[in-house]
């Protein structure tokens, strides 16, 4: 199959597949955490020793799974109510987390699945293997998901999670955080990260935050309070944008880039 035929074979679909263009921009591995970060102890035995092998992305990395709105339930993006037995919902500071999924060129990434999970207001996770002494909230599960709109916007309604202690050093605590899993439009954009809250002093004590090499990188994961957007007498709004890898616009489809 020639490169031209390959171009014909992949068409833009409503599911949001990118048409074939250039490869994805290379990941800046000096910007991301290294695999081996000894202050985060579990990384010591779970980090590859050998260098990863590079190649320019192929169709396998430039396509990705498609998720559609009909997969979602009406309360999937409302963590205050999606596990609640009572109409009032979960206990804790009521917040809305809203933002955009963008690529490195600043373009919104539409139809992208965003999944979140978090502890409750007391820092307790609802998980079989978790036994922190802070109580579970019978009205809070801690999972949510949504799909970005045509401009890449997303929004969750939840309660602000509490900080929580974990067995790493003798007295390590996670800052308040929400875990994010994002798909984008291609497999090579797949990303899991965490969102932190502006002004939380715990951010600067955390070995997991500390795996990020630069202060600028850490700051990019800190959501900002958006008072203008805040809904009076209901919920404060935190704004958190997520940036996924961008993609080259190729002029020469069959050039052997990087190979």
Footprint of another protein on 15-44 (CB under 8 A): 15, 17, 23-24, 26-29, 31-35, 37, 40-44
SS3 26: coil
Of 90-98, 123-131, 155-163, 226-234, which part binds another protein (CB under 8 A)? 123-131
User: Residues 40, 125, 196, 238: which is the catalytic one?
Assistant: 125
SS3 96: strand
Catalytic-residue membership of 125 = yes
**Site membership for another protein, residue 125 (CB under 8 A):** yes
Q: Which of 79, 230, 253 is nearest to 156 (CA)?
A: 79
Angle at 148 between CA 119 and CA 113, to 5 degrees: 60
Of 90-98, 153-161, 228-236, 240-248, which part binds another protein (CB under 8 A)? 240-248
Cβ proximity of 118 and 128 under 8 Å: no
User: Residues 81, 179, 190, 239: which is the catalytic one?
Assistant: 179
Catalytic-residue membership of 83 = no
Kindly write out the interface string for residues 57-96 of this chain, putting x where it contacts another protein by CB under 8 A and - elsewhere: xxxxx-xxxxx---x-x-xx-----xx-------------
Cβ proximity of 64 and 189 under 8 Å: yes
Of 86-94, 120-128, 152-160, 231-239, which part binds another protein (CB under 8 A)? 120-128
**Site membership for another protein, residue 243 (CB under 8 A):** yes
Of 88-96, 115-123, 150-158, 223-231, which part binds another protein (CB under 8 A)? 115-123
CB atoms within 10 A of CB 240: 22
DSSP letters for 168-220: SSTTEEEPSEEEEEE-TTSGGG-EEEEEEETT-GGGGG-TTGGGSS-HHHHHT
Kindly write out the interface string for residues 140-179 of this chain, putting x where it contacts another protein by CB under 8 A and - elsewhere: -xxxxx---------------------------------x
Distance separating alpha carbons of residues 173 and 178, to the nearest angstrom: 14
Catalytic-residue membership of 205 = no
What is the nearest approach in angstroms of another protein to the Cβ of residue 165?
A: 13
- Count residues binding another protein (CB under 8 A): 103
Cβ proximity of 35 and 44 under 8 Å: no
Active site (catalytic) residues: 125, 164, 174, 177, 179
């Amino acid at each position: 199959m020639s490169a031209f035929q390959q171009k014909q074979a992949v068409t833009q679909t409503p599911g949001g597949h990118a048409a074939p263009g250039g490869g994805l921009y290379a990941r800046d591995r000096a910007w991301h955490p290294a695999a081996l970060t000894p202050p985060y102890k579990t990384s010591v035995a779970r980090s590859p020793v050998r260098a990863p092998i590079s190649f320019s992305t192929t169709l396998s990395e430039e396509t990705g799974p498609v998720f559609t709105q009909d997969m979602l339930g009406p309360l999937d993006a409302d963590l205050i109510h999606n596990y609640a037995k009572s109409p009032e919902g979960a206990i804790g500071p009521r917040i809305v987390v809203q933002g955009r999924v963008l690529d490195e060129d600043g373009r919104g990434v539409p139809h992208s699945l965003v999944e979140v999970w978090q502890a409750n207001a007391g820092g307790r996770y609802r998980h079989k293997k978790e036994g922190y002494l802070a109580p579970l909230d019978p009205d809070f599960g801690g999972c949510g998901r949504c799909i970005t709109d045509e401009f890449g916007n997303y929004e969750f309604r939840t309660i602000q999670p509490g900080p929580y202690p974990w067995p790493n050093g003798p007295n390590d605590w996670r800052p308040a955080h929400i875990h994010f899993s994002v798909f984008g439009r291609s497999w090579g954009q797949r990303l899991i990260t965490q969102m932190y809250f502006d002004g939380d002093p715990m951010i600067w004590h955390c070995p997991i935050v500390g795996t990020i090499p630069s202060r600028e990188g850490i700051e990019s994961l800190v959501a900002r309070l958006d008072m203008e957007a805040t809904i009076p007498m209901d919920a404060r709004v935190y704004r958190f944008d997520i940036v996924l890898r961008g993609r080259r616009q190729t002029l020469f489809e069959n050039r052997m880039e990087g190979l």
